[in-house]
């Protein structure tokens, strides 16, 4: 099979320059933002982007701004060379891999992130909203907040997460200047938040959602799955199984969200998972729903061992 070597760009001015040349040639640009350690889920996003744009940029950047100091930034898996090989194998390929070093470093050496655990201070687990980007002096201080949607679901246990996601996506949008961007509906709340942000901030960018991809046995693909032991991985199948059962029950007429939620909670807890949340929310506003009358999504986050997994299923009555 013919392969295409992507151009690897790490400098943001060079990235923008490339995009502007493409645009001046009349080519549309599709962006697929990732944190690397690519799997079939990412590759499906890229295939989606290929349908909508003539040139493809995949960004690979583990964003310290969306991790709390007590989260797994330091153990987040990475395999840059393996990622490049995977990207080469995609039919049609990608044009650019944008792999910046540190998007919060503005050249003044007064901003720390990522490597500097000691300086993160005593906020660990505390109430103040603190990310792995240290804000002080001349350091980074601008954050995009999608104030209502960022609060629920994953926002409850990950208070800096969506602030960090919205901010890094804004930065990537401003650097890459794409026409479209593709996000996975595996991260359902993230996808909705980015769509809302694009509406509210008037970005001239179309945000496309791409369906969640599962292993043959039902486990939703995630870079973090690599940290599951075989036993944990087996137990974690209770997530997709119980979501599927709840969806089937809803489609047979069970409209009471309390019943549906409880069945999922019970199944996941019985298999040894620790629930972060199970919620049924409106697909667009993400507001909690008591009775299913309009399109909703059943969302879950649960821990198996040291790994926090998320999953969801859309339900249309």
Q: Which of 74, 89, 109, 285 binds its own copies (CB under 8 A)?
A: 285
**Contact with its own copies (CB under 8 A) among 81, 125, 147, 216:** 147
**Distance (Å, rounded) from C-alpha 156 to C-alpha 275?**
13
Q: In the set 42, 196, 227, 235, which binds its own copies (CB under 8 A)?
A: 196
Is residue 42 flagged as an active site residue?
yes
Question: Torsions phi, psi of 36, nearest 5?
Answer: 80, -165
Q: Kindly state whether residue 296 participates in binding its own copies, applying the rule CB under 8 A.
A: no
What span, in angstroms and rounded, lies between the C-alpha atoms of 195 and 223?
23
Residue 100 and residue 10 in contact, taking contact as beta carbons nearer than 8 Å: yes
Classify burial at 267, counting beta carbons within 10 Å of its beta carbon; exposed 0-12, middle 13-18, buried 19 or more.
middle
- Is 29 or 175 the residue whose CB approaches its own copies more closely? 175
Cα–Cα distance between 110 and 135 in angstroms, integer? 9
- 179 binds its own copies, rule: CB under 8 A: no
Contact 65, 132 (CB under 8 A): yes
The answer to whether 200 contacts its own copies (rule: CB under 8 A) is: yes
Least distance to its own copies, CB of residue 57, Å: 14
Q: Is 204 exposed, middle or buried (0-12, 13-18, 19+ CB in 10 A)?
A: exposed
Span near its own copies by CB under 8 A; candidates 37-45, 47-55, 117-125, 166-174: 166-174
37 binds its own copies (CB under 8 A): no
Q: Which residues pair with 279 in a beta bridge?
A: 299
CB of 1 to its own copies, least distance (A): 36
Stretch that binds its own copies, among 112-120, 142-150, 234-242, 294-302 (CB under 8 A): 142-150
CA angle 49, 34, 113 (to 5 degrees): 150
Task: Write out the binding residues for its own copies, residues 1-30 only, by CB under 8 A.
Answer: 12, 16, 23-24
Residue 96 binds its own copies, judged by CB under 8 A: no
Tracing tokens 């003539």 back to the chain, one arrives at 54
Characterize 98-130 residue by residue with b for buried, 16 or more Cβ atoms within 10 angstroms of its Cβ, and e for exposed: bbbeebbbeeeeebbbbeeeeebeeeeeeeeeb
| Residue of 62, 84, 175, 297 interacting with its own copies (CB under 8 A) | 175
Nearer to its own copies, 77 or 100 (CB): 100
166: contact with its own copies by CB under 8 A: yes
Q: Which one-letter DSSP state was computed for residue 225?
A: G
Residue 234 CA to chain centroid, in angstroms? 24
CB of 172 to its own copies, least distance (A): 8
Which range, of 55-63, 141-149, 294-302, 308-316, touches its own copies by CB under 8 A? 141-149
Please say which residue, 127 or 142, places its beta carbon nearer to its own copies: 142
Binding segment (CB under 8 A) for its own copies, from list 53-61, 116-124, 202-210, 297-305:
202-210
| Residue 141 or 217 with smaller CB distance to its own copies | 141
Instruction: For residue 10, give both structure tokens.
Output: 């790490």
Q: Does position 142 bind its own copies by CB under 8 A?
A: yes
Per-residue b or e along 58-80, where b marks 16 or more CB atoms closer than 10 Å to that residue's CB: bbbbbbbbbbbbebebeebeeee
* Binding status of residue 149 toward its own copies by CB under 8 A: yes
Task: Tell me, by CB under 8 A, how many residues bind its own copies.
Answer: 37
The upper half-sphere exposure of residue 202, i.e. CA atoms within 13 Å in the direction of its Cβ, equals 0
Q: Contact residues for its own copies (CB under 8 A)?
A: 12, 16, 23-24, 103, 106, 135-138, 140-149, 166-167, 170-171, 174-175, 177, 196-197, 199-204, 284-285
- Residues involved in catalysis: 42
């Amino acid at each position: 099979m013919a392969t295409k070597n992507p151009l690897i760009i790490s400098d943001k001015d060079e990235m923008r320059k490339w995009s502007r040349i493409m645009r001046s040639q009349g080519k549309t640009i599709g962006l697929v933002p990732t944190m690397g350690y690519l799997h079939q889920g990412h590759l499906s996003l890229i295939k989606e982007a290929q349908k909508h744009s003539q040139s493809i940029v995949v960004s690979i950047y583990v964003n310290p701004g969306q991790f709390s100091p007590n989260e797994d930034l330091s153990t987040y898996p990475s395999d840059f060379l393996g990622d490049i090989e995977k990207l080469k194998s995609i039919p049609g390929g990608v044009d650019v891999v944008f792999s910046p070093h540190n998007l919060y470093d503005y050249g003044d050496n007064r901003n720390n992130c990522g490597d500097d655990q000691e300086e993160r201070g005593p906020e660990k687990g505390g109430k103040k909203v603190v990310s792995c980007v240290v804000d002080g002096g001349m350091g980074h201080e601008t954050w995009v907040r999608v104030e209502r949607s960022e609060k629920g679901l994953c926002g409850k246990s990950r208070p800096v997460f969506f602030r960090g996601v919205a901010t890094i996506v804004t930065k990537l949008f401003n650097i890459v200047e794409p026409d479209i961007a593709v996000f996975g509906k595996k991260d359902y709340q993230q996808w909705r938040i980015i769509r809302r942000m694009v509406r509210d901030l008037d970005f001239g960018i179309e945000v496309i959602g791409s369906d969640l991809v599962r292993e043959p046995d039902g486990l939703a693909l995630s870079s973090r799955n690599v940290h599951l032991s075989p036993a944990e991985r087996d137990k974690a199948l209770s997530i997709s199984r119980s979501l599927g059962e709840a969806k089937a029950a809803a489609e047979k007429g069970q409209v009471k969200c309390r019943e549906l939620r409880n069945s999922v909670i019970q199944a996941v807890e019985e298999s040894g998972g620790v629930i972060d949340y199970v919620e049924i929310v409106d697909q667009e506003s993400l507001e909690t729903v008591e009775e299913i009358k309009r399109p909703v999504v059943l969302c879950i986050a649960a821990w198996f061992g040291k790994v926090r997994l998320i999953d969801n299923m859309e339900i249309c009555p």
